[in-house]
């Protein structure tokens, strides 16, 4: 009786516990902002700058002091957005 329980019951309980714990965990969706490389169009060429912006959003990212628009790549075509 004791060996039958350990051979069948214990693996079943471990399997059910694994399934239950898999549903008990949650995804930690924290996003931290960081300074990234952006590009500004200045004097006819694209120059790299360090900014605190992201790839999506609604407010355009600008670079001070002249409030120049910041882009995502060295072609200065894809805009960046304020955090």
Q: For 24-65, what is each residue's pLDDT tens digit? A: 877 766 666 567 788 888 888 888 888 888 877 888 888 887
Given a contact cutoff of 8 angstroms between Cβ atoms, the answer to whether 69 and 61 are in contact is yes
Which pLDDT belongs to residue 16? 92
**Adjacent-strand bridge partners of 69:** 62
Least confident of 15-19, 45-49, 77-81: 77-81
Side by side, the strands of the sheet bearing 36-42 are 45-51, 36-42, 68-71, 62-63
pTM: 0.51
């Amino acid at each position: 009786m004791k060996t039958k329980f350990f051979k069948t019951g214990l693996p079943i309980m471990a399997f059910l516990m694994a399934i239950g714990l898999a549903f008990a965990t949650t995804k930690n969706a924290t996003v931290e902002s960081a300074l990234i490389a952006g590009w500004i169009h200045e004097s006819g060429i694209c120059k790299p700058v360090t900014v605190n912006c992201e790839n999506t959003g609604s407010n355009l990212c600008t670079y001070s002091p002249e409030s120049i628009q910041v882009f995502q790549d060295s072609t200065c075509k894809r805009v960046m957005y304020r955090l």
